[in-house]
Structure 1
Amino acid sequence: MKIKVCYVISSLSNQGPPNVLYNIIQYMNFKKFDVSIITMVPEQKITRMEEFRALPIKIVQMSPDKYLNPISMYYVLRKEVKKINPDILHTHCPRSLFLVPFLPKKYKKYETVHIYPGIQQKIMYGKLKGAIVIALSHFFTKRMDLPIACSESVAQQYWNEQHFKMIAIPNGCSMPLWGGDKRQKENIRNILGFNSGLRYFIFVGRFSKEKNPDMIIKAFEELRNEGIGVVLLGSGDMYNELKSHECDNIIIPGFKSNVYDYMIASDYYISASDVEGLANTLLESMTVGLPCVLSDIPSHREVITKTTQPIGFSFNNKNLSDLKDAIHKVLKLDIESTSLYIRDLFQKYYTAKNMSETYQKVYVKKQK
């Protein structure tokens, strides 16, 4: 008999948790698992709904046209879960984490912890509401049958800060490994309008304070005459402010669906984030073999410490000079040998197939 797994998530937008969920499901053994998804709020313009619908799964939209209040949301969720009658309910967002624990005990309740609650919640919701969301996140996580950290560093943070143990299944990426075709790279650079005389760093993410895209722009404004540029892909509250800084070595196209093309066209990956679970964009950059400049935070250290040779350099993201020093250091790496090593490292640790298979083993083991 198949194990019935029902994932509960706010929406299927083209963002971190839904992308992780897609990578779990696309490699599942559907002879062993019956998979369904319940979404809780209307889809955004950047939804991946059609991609999910192409998989052999059932998708239930609780409220495709309007936002429900929490009480209505709970009753609709309970009704839909009763119809599906899953063995496992697996949450992937705060909304689902706060409601699923109130459902009957006969359902095994799992959670993927995509980030350690803290800085991001305070920036997204404000100090007071953010503190409440953080407290509730910790409270309900500790009451799930199986919380699963998206990285070793998130699991370690939970132990260090909460003295609470959880298993870790590191995020994985399904982008194909790039073969290093220089002609292809040059063609894509021309199509995207890159300056042939510059070496480009790429940032991909939400334009919000905890990601510090303004710090990256400031660094490249000061390094303007050093033959390097930066392209920033994303959207968010800071977009208009950042866009005003666009110039010959700073490209800000906004949100783009062809991230892989931009990765191939670039030479280095950069992140100044204050907090990450295990960033999908970092893993995507590894499929292309991009040496990196990374803020000195736990999830970035987790990747760097798996290496036996430099793949990039970390920096204190409160110190602009430290960022510029890291940029100068990464430019000195041999890009071809480093790129090959990064792609090998990705294959060893961070493929979506490996992540999905690990989740499936856990599902089977816990059902016995």
Structure 2
Amino acid sequence: MDFFVQKDKRITVFYLISTLRRCGATAVLYNTVAGLDKAIRPVVITIAPEDADSMRSAFEDILGCKVIQIGSRGWYSVPGIVYRLLRMSRKEEFAVVHAHGLRPDFIAAILSFFNVRSVSTIHSNFFLDYPFKYGPLIGEILSFAHSIFVSLIGSPVAVSTSLEQVFRSQGLQKVRCILNGIDLNRFLGFRRVDEQKRNAVAFGRIVNLKRFDVISKAFQEATKGSKEQLHIYGEGPMLDALKDLALENVVFFGNEKNIERVLPQYKVFISASETEALPNAVVEALCSGAKVILSDIPPHREIHRIAGEKCPIYFFPVNDVDALRTLIKRALDEPQKSCPVSDLDYFSSARMSKEYSDLYKSLFEED
């Protein structure tokens, strides 16, 4: 019998994250907490003030999860955060700090020197992301520093096997994989597979690496003279530049909180990302009954490998507008085809939560 069930014990997991801003990392955290084993007591610790687009109320009101905000933006608040977390963890018989992000990983790395059990979820290939985001010099320094933090954390977790391989190739051999998962029922409840579906959709944070410009240009060329439209959901620093292209048939909608209600109306989903970890958006689109067109990068291929050949997934070389244009035209012209629901089971957030629950328990079984 499970020790924690047998002894009526609970593990307190302090989830450390900068903010609960609506984004991929927050969604993964939400889905993890939603399906945790009863032996796990979650407490979310944010270390910067929330902005308007925060999911804090969802954690508190829907999940009943305690959320505590300590610290403030900036690295100067780290010592105070470390001190408070150290005190909080020592009040618990069984405690784990689970970090999400650069500054949280730094804090978890420090706490590991005080024998606090630590886990980190690595949400991106920061060896590629940071140089794009911060420039070559600062990006290289930050990625090197972040890799040191990860090496000091007891149990670093990558969200895909392709990302796991990246970090193992950098000498971080203890990185393991727990594949990202989503709430399948949330999307399957609105799924449509009928022939009336039209148009294409792309969504996410509008930044350089997502290459919404490539999607827009290819769509414009593929649909000249037709009534098909590309609908883009999301915001970000490249939004104005994207709008300045002034392309016909491309419509912008901003952020959408209820994407599960929106996705089923579209025939095609497109992602042209240059780098990803394990994009939930692709799985969400497949659940909603769309065909998906993806840049040919390892995390996208991993989704295809797991979902199987029956799923309508098409690949094009990264940044190849001509190849993408051809696939868009083909996907819009051909009859509707959808991924079998049973082929998506492994992407369940319930499976992900169980794997994290098992990981937390294993940290104490090692004693």
Q: Which moved more, 1:5-14 or 1:358-367?
A: 358-367
Measure, in 1, the Cα distance between the counterparts of 2:358 and 2:172: 26
Distance in 2, Cα, partners of 1:157 & 1:127: 19
> Matches of 1:161 and 1:330 in 2, distance apart?
38
Matched residue, 1:2: 10
Match of 1:189 in 2: none
1:181-260 map, 5 Å: 181=192, 199-223=198-222, 224-245=224-245, 249-260=249-260
1:201–1:137 Cα change, 3 Å: same
1:195 corresponds to which residue? none
CA offset at residue 220 of structure 1?
A: 1.6
User: Relative to structure 2, which stretch is displaced further, 238-247 or 210-219?
Assistant: 238-247
Distance 2:164 2:305 in 1: 16
Identity %: 26
TM-aligned CA distance change 1:110 to 1:222, over 3 Å: same
Partner letter of residue 29 of structure 2? L
- Contact 2:32 2:353 (C-alpha < 8 Å) held by counterparts: yes
Once the two structures are superposed, what CA deviation does each residue of 1:169-208 show, in whole Å capped at 9, x if it has no partner?
111111331454579x97xxxxxxxxxxx83111111111
Query: Superposition RMSD on alpha carbons, in Å?
Result: 2.2
Tell me which residue corresponds to 2:100.
92
1:363 is displaced (CA, Å) by: 1.3
Q: 2:33 aligns with which of 25, 40, 46?
A: 25
Secondary structure (helix, strand or coil) at the match of 1:142 reads: helix
| Corresponding residue of 1:311 | 312
Tell me by how many angstroms 1:81 deviates. 3.9
Change (3 A) 1:162 1:83: closer
Distance in structure 2 (CA, Å) of the matches to 1:283 and 1:18: 17
Give the secondary structure class of the aligned counterpart of 1:112: strand
> 1:238 deviation in Å?
1.2
**Partner residue in 2 for 1:77:** 82
Aligned runs of 1:128-139 on 2, under 5 Å?
128-139=137-148
Corresponding residue of 2:300: 300
In 2, Cα distance between equivalents of 1:88 and 1:39? 15
Q: TM-score, length-normalised on structure 2?
A: 0.88
Q: Quote the Cα distance in structure 2 between the aligned partners of 1:220 and 1:208.
A: 18
Unaligned runs of 5+ in 1: 187-197
2:154 maps to 145
Task: Tell whether 2:271 aligns with 1:271.
Answer: yes
Q: Is the 8 A contact 1:304 1:311 kept in 2?
A: no
Letter in 1 for 2:171: Q
Distance 1:180 1:50, change over 3 A: closer
The aligned counterpart of 2:45 is 38
What's the secondary structure of 1:339's corresponding residue? coil
Question: Please, what TM-score do these two structures have when normalized by structure 1?
Answer: 0.88
CA separation in 1, counterparts of 2:215 and 2:165? 28
Distance, in Å, in 2 between the alignment partners of 1:62 and 1:135 is 27
Q: What amino acid maps onto 1:16 in structure 2?
A: G
Partner of 1:157: 166
Distance 2:125 2:67 in 1: 28
Q: In the TM superposition, what is the alpha-carbon distance from 1:353 to its structure 2 partner?
A: 1.1
How many aligned residue pairs are there? 348
Tell me which residue corresponds to 1:364: 361
